């Protein structure tokens, strides 16, 4: 695979995930966007902080070990 192909392929995956679509790559796995709600976290020093909501990318492999 050429460098240009891999760059373009990455852009396509990124754009689809931004649009909340999952991307399945046969014999490799699936990329999808997962939303995490706002939550509180207690720090080691005893303070409590609010963590904002965020979206993360989750990858599920098709390869079975």
Q: What is the CATH number of the domain that holds 15?
A: 4.10.520.10
* Gap between the Cα atoms of 57 and 35, Å rounded: 9
Given a cut of 90, is residue 60 above it in pLDDT? yes
- C-beta pairs of 54-59 under 8 Å, 24+ apart in sequence: 57/17, 57/31, 57/32, 57/33, 58/31, 58/32, 58/33, 58/34, 59/29, 59/30, 59/31
Encode pLDDT of 5-23 as tens digits: 999 999 999 999 999 999 9
Which of the four pLDDT bands, split at 50, 70 and 90, describes residue 63?
A: confident
Domain that holds residue 45: 3-61
Count of domains for the chain: 1
Which of the four pLDDT bands, split at 50, 70 and 90, describes residue 58?
A: very high
Q: Return the pLDDT at 64.
A: 76
What is the overall mean pLDDT for the chain?
A: 92
Q: Flag whether the pTM goes above 0.75.
A: no
């Amino acid at each position: 695979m050429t460098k240009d192909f891999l760059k373009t392929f990455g852009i396509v995956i990124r754009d689809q995930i931004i649009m909340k679509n999952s991307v399945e790559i046969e014999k490799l796995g699936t990329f999808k966007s997962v939303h995490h709600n706002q939550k509180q976290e207690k720090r080691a020093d005893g303070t409590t902080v609010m963590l904002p909501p965020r979206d993360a990318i989750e990858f599920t492999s098709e390869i079975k070990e």
